[in-house]
Structures are given as structure tokens and as C-alpha cells.
Structure 1
């Protein structure tokens, strides 16, 4: 499962000074833009599920939310009658999924019309508008719609720009750049739930959402400040002569990347369930007392960002140590290892879940350990997968393919919502065992296909 990755020094994007841990300056601005954007996103998301259950679904509020009852009717037409918890989980999962579905269209918009930079700015503006509307109960669904569209324009295109900072063949450094990129992002994931969760608990839901909007404005300002250090836009020209046709090999590479992305749906669902049913587990069954203060359940989501940040320097040091000895795993091997770690994280939770099934309350150390292992598995596979797509996807459709990769997270979140409905019917131990099985199945599939896909995606 381990093969030597290329370690030959390859220059960064031409004309960009090396300044950020040996990486181009553009990485600094892209990473910090996403850090503030993720601070905003995770701060808002950490409140969303409990906000729906504890406020929007109360009898005095539900009728005032535009189209809310119609949405519930539509969902229950497909699923049958739902409890408030199950309906809230469905809404949360639809939102969490759709923000990873729209990057496909954001990538197409960038590749064909606007270019990556203008599309990112458009996305940031839409997200600011969405956060403003979250200050009002009535405009809740409109706000979610704008946030979904804005994230679609922003998410995949920033990731594509990170990959474009590096020349072809610079596989090892590109993968490490995406790990650094995600360390900055997870600084936002760490602080967002803490800041917005505490402010919402003290001052009310809408103050928490308002802070998320202000943070998004900061992200937009940082992106604009780094404009001259960003890679030039790559967009398909309208005339056929300027657009190179995809070859047969290009189409085989696209098919292989789509297959790798599809496999990722299973461990991705196991990972993201910690922010859905896992949050309900913490709220109802975990001792959250600390020095006489009850830690808000939403604030536990900050652990994901914390442990992702902690994992990055450890993994970069490990990979550099392996590279010096000619033993650094290739991208597909790193992805496969990540899936195994996520399977182990969920399998571990069978122990405390079994105790909860018997009526006990369990220590907060159990969800802390779950977040730690899940984060380690995520940093093994997700930045590596982004680097793989960025390197291997044909230039003509690079942003579109990056958007398609985020589609795996969309589908995973739909699966999370479906599986969260089993929280009230399965034992908690069986629930976590099911998710361990999903991630382990992906691990086994990757073992089977790693060699042929690895040969196809290798540098020509």
C-alpha cells in the first residue's frame, strides 16, 4: 500500500516568491480566506440543527417561516411522517449536502465564463447576503438558498487555485500545500462553533448568526488583498481553436477520478455523522460539565477543527520523513489509510454507545476521541484527494472536476440525513457499528482498485 512519491524539486508558479512554509504567497491568501469563510460556515452550521429544533419548530414560530411547512410536506411525501428531530436532521443534511453539490456549477461557471477569481468574489457576496437574512426567522429558507449558491461559487474554485500554484510533477509539495490549506481552514472550524455557539447561548440565536456574517466579510477582504498573488484565471475560450479537445486518455482519467470520488461517499458519511446524530448523542448522553459550567453541545464541533489543525504538522513531518527514505505513500495509499482510520473511530464508539443503551451517561472523553480519530482520517484522505484531482484532472475541466469532487460530500450528507433517521430506531451501538462498516467497505474497495487506477493517474 506504500509507494514512493515524487520528491524532485519543482518550482512553484512562475513569478511568485516562496514565502509561506516554502510555498507561494498565494497559498497564504487562499488559506486565510478559507479560514475566515469556514469560521463563518462552521459557526453558523454548529447552531443550525439545534436552532431548527429549539426555535423554528416551536408552534409560535413555525408558521411564520416562509415556505417552511411546504418544505416539511414535501420531505414527508418522500419519507413518510417525521418527528421534529428527524425533520430537522433532514433539513440540516439537505443544507450540508447542497453546499457541496453546487460547486459543480460553480466550477462550470468559472471554467466557461467568469474565471476562478470572479466566481469566488460572487460566491462571497452571496454568502454575506445569506448570513444577513439568517438574522430573521421568516427568511430562513431564503438565507439557506443564498448560502448554498454562494458556497457553490466559492468552494471548489478556491481549492482549484491552490492546485494551480504548482507545476505538474510537484505531487508531494502540492499534497502538503493542501494539508496546510486545510489546517488554516480548520482554524475557522475550531473557532467558529466556539465563538458563535457561546454568543448564541448568551445573547440569542440571531447574534450568533450575525457574527457569522461579519466573519464572511473579513474573508472577502482578505481575498481581495491577495489578488495579485493568485494564479491567473483558467477559463475555456469560446472559439474552438483556443480550446483543446479532451483526448481518450483524458476521458479515462476523468472516469477514474469519478470512481475514486464515488468511493469517498461512504467514509465521508461516517465522518460527517459526528455533526448530526453525533451532536444528539452529546446533547442527551454525555456528561458536559466542566468546572460547574455546562459546555454547549454545539461547541463540541470545534474539536474537529482543533484536531485537524493538530494532525497537519504531524502528518507533514511523517510524510517528509518517509520521502527522505523513499517511502512516502502515493496519494491513493494516503486516501486508503484515511478510510481505515475513520472506520476505527466509529467502531470505537460502539463501547460508549452500548453503555448509553443501558441507560448510562458517558464521559466527554469518548466524543473527544471520536473527533480526534475522525480528524486524523480526514486529513489523511481529503486534502490528498483534492491534490489528486487538482493534479490529474485535465486543464480544460479542472475547476469543474474539483466541483464534482465536492459532489461526493453532497451525496454523503444526503446519506447522513437518511441514516440519522435510524438514530431513534437502532440501538446506539448498532448505529455506530453501521458507520464503521461503511468506512471499512471503502477501505477494502480502494485496496482492490489502487494499482490499476494508480497506473492511470500517474504522471505521464
Structure 2
């Protein structure tokens, strides 16, 4: 960490730096921090707002929500998160072929802000329109802003690169840490829609920083790497209109037949979220324009993708299954104060901010001694730890199953700590390895592919919720725990094969 976070770090003499990193990292850090503030603040409220006013709302909770069951709320939450990351793929495509990364991020920020404004308007229609806008905007932004971090470092083997992504990751988590305290507490304790309005303010601040400090970014971020030809643009517009037409006719028939329910909207998205990642990886892998080296690296990348999907399936239940458990089944008294449920969503980013510098320093120190674990080993460790967290979760679940018993909130603290340790072994490393292994033709799109792993994981959870599976059941939790640990063991056994496919990108 010392060498990567000081001016002693290797960098061109003419390059403006902050703590040894390109100054543009500070701009992207602040932009992402405020965007995450808006996103995670809204997300901390989402499940609680969805069940509020219904049979699964906690006793004494604020009314005025949408009154869905816990299973349906979990499904909506999971599908929404999956959509955010699903939209990262077309977001990367827009960056590569239409607007360039920088312009795409600016447009996306406007869309996200509009979505939060819609969420601030009472009513179910405005709520779902807002969710859609935030999902679309977040997808456009996510793939491109991470790619812009990669643009700041001229070489893939720049020794500052991994620590730079870790610093960027801290920005994400500073925003996520502050969001439940600000947006979450206001929404949960005062008014849901006031909380959503604060999310719009947060995104507005992030957009202002991005526009005002744009000169610090790499000129490469303004370039469209592979612009559409006139013929391609016409074909894309024609296909898009055709798809929209089919969807409109289909749902028009469903509504006319008086058959429409929320599941008619959720099931197609969920199934698409499982099919699309497979189709995208297959298309890239079979692209004849890729060099033999790029083909081989894509074979290795599939291992990381599958591992990440299993990881996010469990990890993202922190905002749904764990949040609902904490709301109804945890004793949250602390020095005479009842801790709001949304505050628990600050635990993970708090731990990340505290531990990320330690992990970054540890990787650098181990690298100097040629003892740093390979990327595949880090992924294996992450899967084992996140699986173990659900083995731990099964303990308080078994104590509260079928009764009104409440358990200490410190179980949740321990679980979120385990999630964070696992996350730091996988997520920033996954961002970095994606930018390093991406074929040149798919530079921004590959970051979208990485986020599709989140889509796949959350869509599995979404399908379970839509099928009314009780995700807080002990048996379901233990099954997921075993699956993650088994997956971690499997990729560890094949680590030498994966490292060989990666070549010099280990």
C-alpha cells in the first residue's frame, strides 16, 4: 500500500498525481461516491417500503408502503438489482459504439437523478417508473465509469492499477456507508418519499462534480472505440423498435385479458437475466476477430464469471433476506436506542472502508515477496467465506423459526463482516482482472459482462422469491451455503489450469 499510495509510485514525470495516482482518480472517486450514496440509500429503503403496510411488515413500522409479501418484495428487490447490472452490458455497448465512456456517464447521471425524483412521488406507477429509470441509468454508468478508471493507467501491467481500483472501491463504499445513515434513516423514520428525494440530491452532486472536473480525466474516455456505421445504426434502431413492438403487443394482450400481475413483469426479466449472460459470453468467446491469446483468456474468464455469480447470489441478500430478518427478528437496542433497520446496510461499507487499505497493503507486500495469491485463489477464498457466512446465519434462523423469538443483532454484524472479507477478496480484484483480460474489441462491454455475473446471481434469488420459496428458511440457507463452499473448493482444485489460461495476467 505504501508504494502505491505515495508519490514514490512509478508514474510519468509530467503526470499530475494525488497520492501517487492520476488526479482523475479523485474525480471518478467523488462521482462514484455520490452516485452510490443515492443508489444504496434508496436500496436500503426498498424492501422495507415494499412490505410496509402488509402482513410481513415489522410491528410498529411506518405505514404508507406498497404492502407486498416478503417473498414478493425479495423478488422485486432481486430483479431490480439484477436489472441494474443487466443494463451494464448495453451501457458498455453505448460507451464502445455510440457515445464514448465519458458522455455515457454524463447522460446516465441525468437518468438516475430523474428516476429518484420519480420515486419521491407517491403512487405505485411512479415508483416502478422510478425503479426502471434508476436501473437503466445505473447500467449505463457502471460499466463506463469503471472503464474510465482503467483509462487512467496507460499500461495493463502498471503496478498501481490494482491499488487504484481498490481506492476507487473505497469511494463506492464511502457513499454506501453514508447513504443508510442519511437517506435510509430519513426514509424509514420520517417519510419514505423524502428519503427517495434525498437520493436525487445525492446524484445531482455527483453529476456536478463529474462535469466540472472533467478536464482531469483521460482523453481516451471521450473516444468512441468502435463507432457504429450508418448501416449498423439503422439496423440497431430497427431491431430495437421491433422488440419494443412485440413487448407492447404482448403486454397489451395480457392487460386486455385482465391477467396482469406483478409476476408477469418480473418473470421475463428474471429468465432473461439468466439467459443473456450465457449468450453474451458465448458470442464473445466465438468471435473470430479475437486473437488466440484473447480467446484463451476468455476461457479463463468464464471461471471467474461463474464464481462471481455464486458469490453475488448470497452476498446481495444482505439487502433483502438479512434486512427483513433484522427488521422482524433481531433485538436492536443499543444504549437505550433502537437501531433503525436501514443502519445495518452501513455495516458492509463501513467494514470495506476500514479493511480495504489493509487488503491493498497486504497484496502489495505479498507481491514484493512473490507470494501474492493468484486471482483464482482469491476468488476461491471469497466463495468459501461467503458460504460460511450463511452457515452462521442458519444458527439465529433456527432459533427464531416458527416463533416470535428475537436474537441479538450482533449475529448480523458478524455475517456482514464475513461478507466484507469475502468481497474484498473478489470484487475489486474482479474489476481489475476484467479490464486486464478484456479483448480490445470489447473494452467497455467486458466490464458490462463482469456485472452480468451479479445479474445471474440475483436472478436465481429472484426466481426463488417468485416461486414463493421462503428464503429465510434454514434448509434453503444451508443449501446456498453448501453450494458456495463447494464452488470455492472446485475452482481451487482447478487453479493451475485457470492460471495457465490466463498466461501473463495472473
The answer, yes or no, to whether TM exceeds 0.5 is: yes
Number of corresponding residues:
428
Equivalent residue runs for 1:95-106 within 5 Å: 95-106=80-91
**Maintained 8 Å contact 1:13/1:24:** no
Q: What is the Cα deviation at residue 55 of structure 1?
A: 5.0
Partner of 2:43: 45
- The structure-2 alpha-carbon separation of the partners of 1:229 and 1:133, relative to structure 1 and needing over 3 Å to count, comes to same
State the alpha-carbon separation in 1 of the partners of residues 158 and 371 from structure 2.
14
2:400 to 353, 356, 359: 356
2:148 counterpart of 1:131? no
Partner of 1:452: 497
Q: What is the Cα deviation at residue 166 of structure 1?
A: 1.8
Q: What is the Cα deviation at residue 153 of structure 1?
A: 0.8
Equivalent residue runs for 1:232-381 within 5 Å: 232-233=220-221, 234=223, 235-237=225-227, 245-357=289-401, 359=403, 360-381=405-426
Partner of 1:146: 133
- The structure-2 alpha-carbon separation of the partners of 1:96 and 1:238, relative to structure 1 and needing over 3 Å to count, comes to closer
Q: What is the Cα deviation at residue 202 of structure 1?
A: 3.7
Residues 270-299 of structure 1, C-alpha deviations (whole Å, 9 max, x = no match): 111121111111111110112332222122
State the alpha-carbon separation in 1 of the partners of residues 473 and 73 from structure 2.
19
Q: What is the Cα deviation at residue 48 of structure 1?
A: 0.9
**Maintained 8 Å contact 1:35/1:184:** yes
368-377 or 323-332: bigger deviation = 323-332
**Maintained 8 Å contact 1:261/1:408:** yes
- The structure-2 alpha-carbon separation of the partners of 1:10 and 1:164, relative to structure 1 and needing over 3 Å to count, comes to farther
State the alpha-carbon separation in 1 of the partners of residues 303 and 87 from structure 2.
19
Partner of 2:23: 25
Residues 55-83 of structure 1, C-alpha deviations (whole Å, 9 max, x = no match): 5999xxxxx99xx99xxxxxxxxxxxxx7
State the alpha-carbon separation in 2 of the partners of residues 86 and 303 from structure 1.
24
Partner of 1:194: 181
**Maintained 8 Å contact 2:307/2:383:** no
- The structure-2 alpha-carbon separation of the partners of 1:57 and 1:154, relative to structure 1 and needing over 3 Å to count, comes to farther
Q: TM-score, normalised by structure 1?
A: 0.86
Q: What is the Cα deviation at residue 322 of structure 1?
A: 1.3
State the alpha-carbon separation in 1 of the partners of residues 118 and 46 from structure 2.
14
SS at match of 1:114: coil
Partner of 2:33: 35
SS at match of 2:85: coil
Partner of 1:121: 106
Residues 132-173 of structure 1, C-alpha deviations (whole Å, 9 max, x = no match): 111113311111111111011100111111122223342653
2:163 to 172, 176, 180: 176
Residues 389-444 of structure 1, C-alpha deviations (whole Å, 9 max, x = no match): 10111222111010011011111111222345688647743333222123213212
Moved over 3 A (4+): 9-16, 55-58, 418-429
Partner of 2:428: 383
- The structure-2 alpha-carbon separation of the partners of 1:367 and 1:421, relative to structure 1 and needing over 3 Å to count, comes to farther
SS at match of 1:264: helix
2:206 to 216, 219, 233: 219
- The structure-2 alpha-carbon separation of the partners of 1:423 and 1:293, relative to structure 1 and needing over 3 Å to count, comes to farther
Residues 79-128 of structure 1, C-alpha deviations (whole Å, 9 max, x = no match): xxxx7221121111111110000010010111111100000011101001
SS at match of 1:458: helix
State the alpha-carbon separation in 1 of the partners of residues 107 and 299 from structure 2.
30
**Maintained 8 Å contact 1:277/1:420:** no
Q: Which runs of 5+ in 1 are unaligned?
A: 1-8, 59-63, 70-82
**Maintained 8 Å contact 1:103/1:155:** yes
Residues 277-327 of structure 1, C-alpha deviations (whole Å, 9 max, x = no match): 111111111101123322221221111111111120111122222123221
**Maintained 8 Å contact 2:54/2:69:** no
**Maintained 8 Å contact 2:37/2:175:** yes
Q: What is the Cα deviation at residue 362 of structure 1?
A: 1.1
Q: Report the aligned-residue RMSD.
A: 2.7
State the alpha-carbon separation in 1 of the partners of residues 154 and 495 from structure 2.
24
**Maintained 8 Å contact 1:13/1:167:** no
Residues 171-229 of structure 1, C-alpha deviations (whole Å, 9 max, x = no match): 65322211111111111111101111211234311110000000000111111233122
- The structure-2 alpha-carbon separation of the partners of 1:422 and 1:303, relative to structure 1 and needing over 3 Å to count, comes to farther
- The structure-2 alpha-carbon separation of the partners of 1:211 and 1:160, relative to structure 1 and needing over 3 Å to count, comes to same
SS at match of 1:39: helix
Q: TM-score, normalised by structure 2?
A: 0.79
